[in-house]
Amino acid sequence: MKFPIEGLYNWYRSTIRNPKYRWWLIIGSLVYLFSPLDISPDFLPIIGWIDDGVILTLLVTEISQLLGERLKSADKNSADSPFNNTTTATATTSEPVDVKAVTVD
Protein backbone atom coordinates (compact mmCIF):
# COMPACT_ATOMS: atom_id res chain seq x y z
CA MET A 1 0.00 0.00 0.00
CA LYS A 2 1.39 3.37 -1.00
CA PHE A 3 1.35 6.29 1.35
CA PRO A 4 -0.81 9.27 0.31
CA ILE A 5 2.25 11.54 0.48
CA GLU A 6 4.08 9.36 -2.04
CA GLY A 7 1.11 9.61 -4.38
CA LEU A 8 1.07 13.39 -3.95
CA TYR A 9 4.79 13.53 -4.71
CA ASN A 10 4.39 11.40 -7.85
CA TRP A 11 1.48 13.58 -9.02
CA TYR A 12 3.47 16.78 -8.38
CA ARG A 13 6.52 15.44 -10.20
CA SER A 14 4.60 14.19 -13.25
CA THR A 15 2.57 17.40 -13.46
CA ILE A 16 5.57 19.73 -13.25
CA ARG A 17 7.31 17.73 -15.99
CA ASN A 18 4.32 18.25 -18.29
CA PRO A 19 4.99 21.52 -20.20
CA LYS A 20 1.28 22.21 -20.47
CA TYR A 21 0.76 22.41 -16.69
CA ARG A 22 4.25 23.35 -15.50
CA TRP A 23 3.68 27.09 -15.08
CA TRP A 24 0.28 26.56 -13.48
CA LEU A 25 1.83 24.33 -10.85
CA ILE A 26 4.76 26.69 -10.21
CA ILE A 27 2.44 29.68 -9.82
CA GLY A 28 0.03 27.66 -7.66
CA SER A 29 2.89 26.53 -5.41
CA LEU A 30 4.14 30.09 -4.99
CA VAL A 31 0.64 31.36 -4.24
CA TYR A 32 0.24 28.61 -1.64
CA LEU A 33 3.57 29.54 -0.03
CA PHE A 34 2.66 33.22 0.33
CA SER A 35 -1.03 32.71 1.11
CA PRO A 36 -2.17 32.91 4.73
CA LEU A 37 -4.60 30.04 4.02
CA ASP A 38 -2.71 26.77 4.47
CA ILE A 39 -3.33 23.22 5.57
CA SER A 40 -1.72 24.22 8.85
CA PRO A 41 -1.75 27.99 9.55
CA ASP A 42 1.61 29.74 9.64
CA PHE A 43 0.97 31.50 12.95
CA LEU A 44 1.50 28.15 14.70
CA PRO A 45 5.24 27.82 15.28
CA ILE A 46 7.01 24.97 13.48
CA ILE A 47 3.80 23.05 12.70
CA GLY A 48 2.61 25.86 10.44
CA TRP A 49 5.87 25.92 8.53
CA ILE A 50 6.08 22.19 7.79
CA ASP A 51 3.64 22.20 4.86
CA ASP A 52 5.31 25.29 3.39
CA GLY A 53 8.70 23.62 3.74
CA VAL A 54 7.49 20.49 1.97
CA ILE A 55 5.98 22.46 -0.93
CA LEU A 56 9.09 24.65 -1.22
CA THR A 57 11.37 21.60 -1.15
CA LEU A 58 9.33 19.86 -3.87
CA LEU A 59 9.29 22.99 -6.01
CA VAL A 60 13.02 23.72 -5.73
CA THR A 61 13.99 20.07 -6.24
CA GLU A 62 11.89 19.59 -9.35
CA ILE A 63 12.88 22.92 -10.93
CA SER A 64 16.56 22.23 -10.31
CA GLN A 65 16.21 18.76 -11.88
CA LEU A 66 14.43 20.24 -14.90
CA LEU A 67 17.13 22.88 -15.33
CA GLY A 68 19.86 20.26 -14.94
CA GLU A 69 18.28 18.07 -17.60
CA ARG A 70 17.91 21.05 -19.90
CA LEU A 71 21.56 22.02 -19.44
CA LYS A 72 22.69 18.44 -20.11
CA SER A 73 20.63 18.25 -23.28
CA ALA A 74 21.92 21.64 -24.43
CA ASP A 75 25.49 20.54 -23.72
CA LYS A 76 24.91 17.27 -25.59
CA ASN A 77 23.43 19.12 -28.55
CA SER A 78 26.40 21.48 -28.68
CA ALA A 79 28.81 18.51 -28.52
CA ASP A 80 27.01 16.91 -31.48
CA SER A 81 27.29 20.12 -33.49
CA PRO A 82 29.41 19.89 -36.65
CA PHE A 83 31.01 23.23 -35.73
CA ASN A 84 32.43 21.96 -32.46
CA ASN A 85 36.25 22.09 -32.56
CA THR A 86 36.85 19.47 -29.87
CA THR A 87 36.12 16.51 -32.11
CA THR A 88 37.94 15.60 -35.29
CA ALA A 89 36.78 13.69 -38.30
CA THR A 90 39.14 10.78 -37.59
CA ALA A 91 37.87 10.41 -34.03
CA THR A 92 34.33 9.82 -35.21
CA THR A 93 35.20 7.11 -37.77
CA SER A 94 35.37 3.47 -36.76
CA GLU A 95 38.28 2.51 -39.03
CA PRO A 96 41.29 0.99 -37.26
CA VAL A 97 44.54 2.95 -37.21
CA ASP A 98 47.78 1.06 -37.87
CA VAL A 99 50.55 2.26 -35.59
CA LYS A 100 54.13 1.07 -35.79
CA ALA A 101 55.61 0.79 -32.33
CA VAL A 102 59.31 1.53 -31.86
CA THR A 103 61.27 0.67 -28.74
CA VAL A 104 63.38 3.39 -27.20
CA ASP A 105 66.81 2.44 -25.80
Render the chain in DSSP notation, one character per residue.
Answer: ---HHHHHHHHHHHHHTSTTTHHHHHHHHHHHHH-S--SS-TTSTTHHHHHHHHHHHHHHHHHHHHHHHHHHHHHHHHHT-TT-SSS-HHHH-------------
Q: What is the pLDDT of residues 56-76, one digit of tens each?
A: 999 999 999 999 998 998 888
Global pTM reads 0.63
Please state the rounded mean pLDDT for residues 95-99: 80
- Residue 102 is assigned to a structural domain of this protein: no
- Residue 80 is assigned to a structural domain of this protein: no
The domain in which residue 43 lies consists of 15-68
Q: What is the pLDDT of residues 13-53, one digit of tens each?
A: 999 999 899 999 999 999 988 887 887 877 778 888 888 88
44 vs 12, residue with greater confidence: 12
| Domain count of the fold of the chain | 1
- Residue 83 is assigned to a structural domain of this protein: no
Question: What pLDDT shows up at residue 48?
Answer: 81
